[in-house]
Amino acid sequence: MLLTVSGSSCSGKTTTVRACGPVDGLVWHDFDEIGVPSGADVVWRQRSLETWIRRALRYQADGLDMLLTGQSPLGEVVAAPSAAQLNGIAACLVDVDDEVRRQRLTQRDPGKWDAGAVDAFIGWARWQRAHAADRWHLPEAITAGGWERMRWDRWTDLPGWAVTVIDTTGRPVEESAAELRRWIDDQRRSANQDIA
């Protein structure tokens, strides 16, 4: 099974997952471990996502689940060429208030981002919130100019659309981590019941 924890930069994904601690039978990776080239675009992200999904399939063959933190929303994950081979996919959006995100970006990377870049992170976060609630919200944000091997038709084949949202705004890390851990456990338990 692949569990994805997505969200725009500075939402608290990595911090929250780290605070969960180790989980038996679950391997965690951060999307950016493979390196992010300058000028990375939507095609790079989607092709790299396919690489991660193939890695998840290798873990799956060994009886392990994989949790991947990154920027890829559920729509991209489902549409990746190899996604249909996964035993299951579960999606969680880790989010934070826009103003808190601005503050975190400034504190984490002082002087790195100009106002336009920060606004882009905020815009991506807003789109991800809407996409989590409605698969049909501005799909061109990820389909336009995307990788030609993506299978966007898979959106229509899904029987449901479920993205859990964890808002880290004003919450202790431990509280967000506990909620994420419950989500991980629930998704894995549900997937195992479906397979049995």
196 residues of the chain, pLDDT tens digit each: 999 999 999 999 999 999 999 999 999 999 999 988 888 999 999 999 999 999 999 999 999 999 999 999 999 999 999 999 999 999 999 999 999 999 998 888 888 888 898 999 999 999 999 999 999 999 999 999 999 999 999 987 788 899 999 999 999 999 999 999 999 999 999 987 654 4
Beta bridge partners of 163: 91
Give the pLDDT confidence score for residue 61 in this predicted structure: 98
pTM given for the model: 0.93
Element housing 132 (H / E): helix 115-133
What domain range is 169 assigned to? 2-191
**Across the beta sheet with 65-70, what order do the strands follow?**
26-30, 65-70, 2-6, 89-95, 163-167
CATH number at residue 136: 3.40.50.300
Burial of residue 47 (CB within 10 Å: 0-12, 13-18, 19+) is: middle
- The residue length of the chain stands at 196
Q: Is residue 75 part of a domain?
A: yes
Q: Helix 173-195 vs helix 13-20: angle between axes, to the nearest 10 degrees?
A: 70
Q: Is residue 196 part of a domain?
A: no
Q: Nearest 5°: phi and psi at 142? A: -120, -15
- As for how many domains the chain has, the answer is 1
Please, what is the end-to-end C-alpha distance for the chain in angstroms? 14
